[in-house]
Structure 1
Amino acid sequence: MRTKSIEATLRDAERPSTRLARSLGPLQLTMMGIGVTIGGGIFVLTGTAAANYAGPAIAVSFALGALTSGLVALCYMEFASTVPVAGSAYTFAYVSLGELAAWLIGWDLILDMTMGAGAVASGWSQYVADFLASFGVHLPASVAGPEAVVNVPAVLIILVLTAVLASGVRTTSRINTAMTLVKLAAILIFLCVGVFHIHTANWAPFVPDSQPPGGDGGVWEQPLLGWAGISTNATFGFAGILTGGAIVFGAYSGFDIMASSAEEAKRPQRTLPIALMATVVVCATLYVAVALVVTGMDHYTHLDNAAPVTAALKAVGADWAVRVVGIGAICGLTTVVMIMLLGQSRVFLAMSRDRLLPEWYSRVHPVTRSPRRITWTLGLLVAFMTAVLPIQDLAELGNIGMLTSFIAVCVGVMYLRRARPELRRGFRTPWVPFLPVVALLLCLLLVGSLPLITWARFLGWMAVGLLIYVLWGRRHSRVATGELAADGSDGEEGPDEEGGDGGHGQGGPDEAAPPVTTEPAPEPGGARS
C-alpha cells in the first residue's frame, strides 16, 4: 500500500511554488464555515426535501444530519490539527489508507463540491428571479430557474465568483464575512416574522405515512436499503426521514471545506478545532429552527420549489419580508457557492502536488498565492454542470460524494491511532474507536438511503476516476516515481516557476507551518482521550 508520510506532506505545503498563504484566524475560518454551511440547506433544500421525502419531520432529518456531522467533525478535528495542509479527506486518506484510497476520495470530493456548488447556484438563480419579480422584473423561465434550458444567472454567478477566488484568499474571506453577516441577519428576521404565522395544523401529521417512491423512475427511485430489503419506502415515514437526512446532509459540508483550507489557517492546531465545532453547533441550531418555522407557515406539499423560505413568506402575505430575506438569501447562497469552489480547488491542488493530476495545476500565483489555473479550470466545469443538470440531481450526487469521504475519515482516524500512536496531535478525537464507529454507521445509514439512480451515477463517476488513476496517476505520482523515499524525504525545491522568489507573498514570514514532531504527546485531559 503506497502511503505518503505526514512529514513529507507538511514539507510539500511549504514548497515555494505551491505554498498557500496562512492568513485565516478563528473568526475568519468560523465565518467561512458558517458562510458555506448556512445557505443551500435553509434556502433551497428545506422545501424540496420536506415536500418529497420527510414532510414537517424534515426538522428531524436536519437533527440527524447534525448528529452525524458533529461526530464526523470530531474525527476531522484530529486529522486537520495534525496534518494542517490543503486537501481535507484526500490528504488524510493518503497518510493513513494509501494512494489508491486517497485518489478515490479526492475524485469523490471533486464530485461532492462540484455538484454541491452547482445545486446551490441553481437555487441562487431562483431567489434572484423571485427578488426581481417582487419589483415587477420577470426573467424568462427558459433562462432562469429550475425549468430553464440553460440557467444563465447560475452560470454567471459561478464565473464571477471564480474570478473573486482567483484574486486570493484574503479578498475571498472579506467578501464572505460581509455576506455571511447579512445572511444571518436575514435568517433572524425570517424567524421573528415566521413564528407569528405558524399554524400547527401544517405540522399534522408531523411524520406523513409512508408512500411508494413517486416519479417515473420506478425501481431507480428506491433507496439502496429498500432494494436490499431493509427498507421499502423512500418517501415519508421513517425511511423518508432517513432519505431527507441523506439529501440535506450536504447542508453540513462546511466543516469539510474548512478542513480543506487548513493550510491557510494561522495556528491551525488551535484554530481548526474551535472553528469546526462552532460551525456545527451554530448551523445545526439555525437549520432545525428554520425547518420548523417554514413547515409551520405553509403546508409541506406547497414547498417543492427552489426558494421555499420566500415562498412561505409570500403565502402569509409578508411581502416586505420577502424582499429583505431575499437579499439575505442571495448573499447567503453566494457565499456557499464561493466557498465550495474554494474547497474543491484546494483538494485539486493537493492531488496535483502529489502528481496524481498534472503538476502544472499546482503552481500558485507569486503575488496572490492563489492556484489560479485550478480555480478557473474547475469554475468552468461547475458552470457547465450547472447549465445541464437539474438541482435535485446535483444535490444528491454531491451528498453521496461527501458521505463517502466522511466514511474514509472515520476509518482513517482509527487506523492512524494504531499505525502512529506516538504522533503529536493538536486535537484527539474522544472515545476512539467507539465514536468513529458510531459516526461510520450513521454515514452508512444515510448513504444507503439515497436512491439507486444516484448510486449508479456515483459509481459511473468513480469508474472514470479509477480509469484516470490507472492511465496517469499510478505511474506519475511522486511516490510511484520514487521522488519520495520510504521515510518521506524528498529533494529540495527549485526556484518558483511562476517567477516568484519563494517568499511568503500575502502570508508574511510568520505563517510557516509548525514543525513536525513525533515525540509522545503529553497525557490528555478534559475532552481528549
Structure 2
Amino acid sequence: MKLFIKKPIAQLLAASKEGEKTLKRTLGLSSLIALGIGAIIGAGIFVRTAAAAGEHAGPAVTISFIIAASGCALAGLCYSEFASMIPIAGSAYTYSYATMGELIAWIIGWDLVLEYALGAATVAIGWSQYFNEFLNTFFGFHIPFQWCHSPWETNISTTGMYTDQMGVHGLVNLPAILIIFLLTLLLIRGTAESASVNNFIVIVKVAIVLLIIGLGWHFINPANHIPYMIPADAKPVVTSTGTINYSDTFNHGWLGVLRGASVVFFAFIGFDAVSTAAQEAKNPQKDMPKGILISLVFCTVLYILFSHVLTGIAPYRDFLIAGKEASVTYAINTFMHGYGWLAKLVTIAILAGFSSVILVMLLGQTRVFYTMSTDGLIPKVFSQLHPKYSTPYKSQWLFFGFVSIFAGFIPDRIVGDMVSIGTLFAFVLVCLGIFILRRTDPNIVRPFKTPAYMIVCPLGALICLGMIASEGLENWLRLIGWLLIGFVIYFGYSVKRSHVRHGKVDGANDPINPKFVE
C-alpha cells in the first residue's frame, strides 16, 4: 500500500483551471487581506485574550501574543511560499499532498476540521455571550442561562444578569446555533457576496479595536500589571467550569506564559484561512503571500496593544467570573466610568466581528473538504456545487450540523483548546513541507520564496511544537482520539477511492508529470 503517494504539483495546478464545475475566481488582494483580518480579529482578541490572562499568563499575556505571533510569522512565510506555488483550495492539506504524500495529507486535512469547524464553534459560543449582553443592554432582558450555555456549565456568578439563576445548569447554547445557521445561508449564496459583507465588518471592528486602545490607555491602572506574571502562590479561582489553581505548572510564571501562547494562538488562525480561498483568488501567485503576511503583521500589532490595555484596565482574575466571555464590555462598564456608550458600541461591533470570523472559518472548512472530495478521499457530496451559486452547498449544510453540536453543547474553553492544538499541528507540517520540497524539488517555480528556509522552517516547527507541549495531557488525548477516528475513515474508505492512487486525476497521461510520485 503506497501510503506516501504524492500528487504532482502540475496536476494540482491543472485542477485549478476555471470551468463550469470549479470555484469562481472573484477575490482580489483587498478582499484577501480583509478575509485574513476578518478571521484573525475576533474571538481571539475579545475572548481568548481574557481566558489566557485569567487562567495562565496574567498581564504577561502580551508576551504570550509575541510568542504565538513568532510561530505564526514563521509558519506564515511557509504558507506564503506554498500559496503562491500551489494556488488552489485546500490549504495545508493540498500542500502536504504534494510534498509528504497522501497519508500525511489525510492527517492534516482531517486535523483541519479541528481548526476551522471547531474554530467556528468556539467563536459562535463567544458570539452568544455578547448577543446576550446586547439584549440586556439595549432591550432590558436576556436569554435564560440554560438556553445560552452548554450542559457542562453551572452559573456561579454573584454579579451581572444571572444573579437570579444561581446554581442553574446549562442545556444548549441556542444563539450560537442561530448565528451558524444564518451565516451558512450567506455562504451558500456566494463567496463574492460573503466577502463584501466581510469587508464592511472588518472596517467596523478594526475601528473599534483602535478606539478601545486609544481611550482605554488613559484608564490603565499600573497596579494591575504587578506582578506581570502570575505567581505560583496566587489564590485559586472557582469558575463555572471548575477551579483554576495557579500552583499548577502551566498556570504561573514563564510556563504559564507559554501555555497562554497556545491559548491565544487561536487568535492567529485566520491568516491561513486566506490560503483556503486560493482557488477563488483572481491573482493567487501575487496576492496570496501579500494577503497572508499583511493581515498577520497588522493584527499582531493590534493584539499586543489591546492585551496590554485590557489587562491594565481590569485585574486578570476578573476575567474568569464577572467578565467571562464578554470581558471587554465588562472592563469598560466597570472601570471606564463615563464610557457606557463605548461598551454599547463595542458589543455591537463584536457581534459583527465574531460573525465575520465564523463566516471565514465555515468557508475555509468547506473548501478543504471540497478539495479532499475531488481527490476521492471523502464522499462526493462534499464537492457538489450549487447549480446557480457554484458553492459547495451540501457540504455547507453538513458542517452546519456538525459545528452546531459543538457550539450548542460544549464549553468554549474545551473547544478552543482543541482548535489550538489542531492548528499548531497543521503549522508544524506546513513548515516541514517547505523544508522537504526545497530539498526534493529545488527547481520548481516559486513566485514567493521563504527567506532563510534552513532556519525559518525548523524554527517555526519548534516554536509550534513548544506550544503544543504546553497543551496538557487532556488536550493531547483529544487530539489522538480525533486522529484515530480519521485513520479508521482513511483505511476503511479513502485508500479504496483515492484518485491519485488509482490514476484518475487530470494530467495522468502527461509524459512529463507521471500520474503519481512515490
Alignment correspondent of 1:293: 309
Query: Aligned to 2:81, which of 74, 78, 82?
Result: 78
CA apart distance, 1:100: 0.3
Shift of 1:422: 1.2
The range that moved more, 78-87 or 260-269, is: 260-269
Letter aligned with residue 258 of structure 2: L
Note if contact 2:149-2:172 (Cα within 8 Å) is conserved in structure 1: no
8 Å CA contact retained: 2:18, 2:24: no
Aligned to 2:373: 352
- After TM superposition, the structure 1 = structure 2 runs for residues 234-245 of structure 1, keeping only pairs within 5 Å, are 234-245=250-261
Question: For 1:163-242, what aligned pairs fall within 5 Å after superposition?
Answer: 163-210=185-232, 233-242=249-258
Answer yes or no: is the 8 Å Cα contact 1:54–1:244 preserved in 2: yes
How many Å separate the matches in 2 of 1:213 and 1:198? 23
Corresponding residue number in structure 1 for 2:405: 384
User: 2:332 is matched with which residue?
Assistant: 313
CA contact (8 A) 1:212 1:234 kept: no
Separation of aligned partners in 2, 1:74 and 1:369: 31
Among candidates 251, 268, 281, match of residue 252 of structure 1: 268
1:59 maps to what in 2? 62
Q: Report if the CA contact (8 A) 1:44-1:306 is conserved.
A: yes
Q: 1:26 to 1:335 in 2, by over 3 A?
A: same
Deviations 1:209-264 (A, max 9, x none): 13699799xxx999xxxxxxxx9711021000000100110110111110111111
Mapped pair 1:432 → 2:448: no
- Report the alpha carbon displacement of residue 52 of structure 1 after superposing the two structures with TM: 0.4
Which runs of 5 or more residues in structure 2 are unaligned? 154-169, 514-518
Which residue number in structure 2 is paired with residue 495 of structure 1?
none
CA distance in 2: counterparts of 1:213 and 1:425, whole angstroms:
54
**Could you tell me which amino acid in structure 1 is paired with residue 12 of structure 2?**
T
Query: Cα offset for 1:281?
Result: 0.9
CA contact (8 A) 1:37 1:252 kept: yes
Aligned counterparts of 2:272 and 2:50: Cα–Cα separation in 1: 24
Q: Does the 8 Å contact 1:17/1:363 carry over to 2? A: no
CA shift for structure 1 position 116 = 1.0
Distance in 2 (CA, whole Å) between partners of 1:234 and 1:349 is: 38
Specify whether residues 292 and 178 from structure 1 end up closer, same or farther in structure 2 by C-alpha distance, changes over 3 A only. same
C-alpha spacing 1:70/1:17, structure 2 compared with 1 (3 Å)? same
**2:266 counterpart of 1:267:** no
Aligned to 2:484, which of 463, 476, 479?
463
User: CA 1:341–1:221 in structure 2 vs 1: closer, same or farther (change >3 Å)?
Assistant: farther
Q: Does 1:126 align with 2:129?
A: yes
Q: Does structure 1 residue 406 correspond to structure 2 residue 424?
A: no
Partner of 1:370: 391
CA contact 1:184–1:328 (8 Å) conserved in 2: no
Please tell me the residue identity of whatever aligns with 1:309. V
Name the CA distance, whole Å, in 2 between partners of 1:422 and 1:438.
24
Query: How many residues are aligned here?
Result: 480
Q: Matched residues in 2 for 1:467 and 1:214: separation?
A: 42
Distance 1:190 1:419, change over 3 A: same
Assess, with a 3 A threshold, how the Cα gap between structure 1 residues 186 and 17 changes in structure 2: closer, same or farther. Answer: same
Give 1:247's aligned amino acid: V
Once residues 488 and 419 of structure 1 are traced to their aligned partners in structure 2, the CA distance between those partners, rounded to angstroms, is 21
Q: Say which of 127, 141, 144 aligns to 1:140.
A: 144
Cα displacement (A) at 1:16: 3.8
Three-state SS of the structure 2 residue aligned to 1:307 is: helix
Are residues 1:161 and 2:183 paired? yes
**1:36, CA displacement in angstroms?**
0.5
Maintained 8 Å contact 2:56/2:230: no
1:240 and 1:415 mapped to 2: Cα distance? 33
Amino acid paired to 1:193 = L
Residues 332 and 469 of structure 1: is their aligned pair in 2 closer, same or farther, counting only changes over 3 Å? same
Amino acid at match of 1:195: W
Aligned equivalents of 1:434, 1:266: Cα separation in 2: 32
Partner of 2:157: none
| CA 1:18–1:103: 2 relative to 1, 3 Å | farther
Q: CA deviation at 1:41?
A: 1.1
Pairs within 5 Å for 1:301-340: 301-304=317-320, 305-316=324-335, 317=337, 318-340=339-361
Shift of 1:337: 0.6
**Match of residue 161 from structure 2:** none
CA distance in 2, matches of 1:236, 1:308: 21
Q: Render the CA deviation track for 1:183-220: whole Å, top value 9, x for unaligned.
A: 1111122122211211000001011213699799xxx9
Deviation at 1:14, TM superposition (A): 2.9
Aligned to 1:522: none
Contact between 1:179 and 1:335, CA under 8 Å: does it hold in 2? yes
Alpha-carbon displacement from aligned partner over 1:388-422 (angstroms, at most 9, x marks no partner): 11000010000111011101101110111111111
- Report the identity percentage: 37
**Contact 1:189 1:325 (C-alpha < 8 Å) held by counterparts:** no
In the alignment, what sits opposite 1:341? 362
* TM-score, length basis structure 1: 0.87
Deviation at 1:22, TM superposition (A): 0.7
Shift of 1:17: 5.4
Instruction: Please name the residue that 2:50 is paired with.
Output: 47
Supply the AA of the counterpart residue of 2:106.
W
Q: Which region of structure 1 is more displaced relative to structure 2, 70-79 or 362-371?
A: 362-371
Distance 1:172 1:12, change over 3 A: same
Alpha carbons of 1:418 and 1:173: their partners in 2 closer, same or farther (altered >3 Å)? same
Measure the CA separation in 1 of the matches of 2:114 and 2:313.
Answer: 35
Q: Which residue of 2 aligns with 1:284?
A: 300
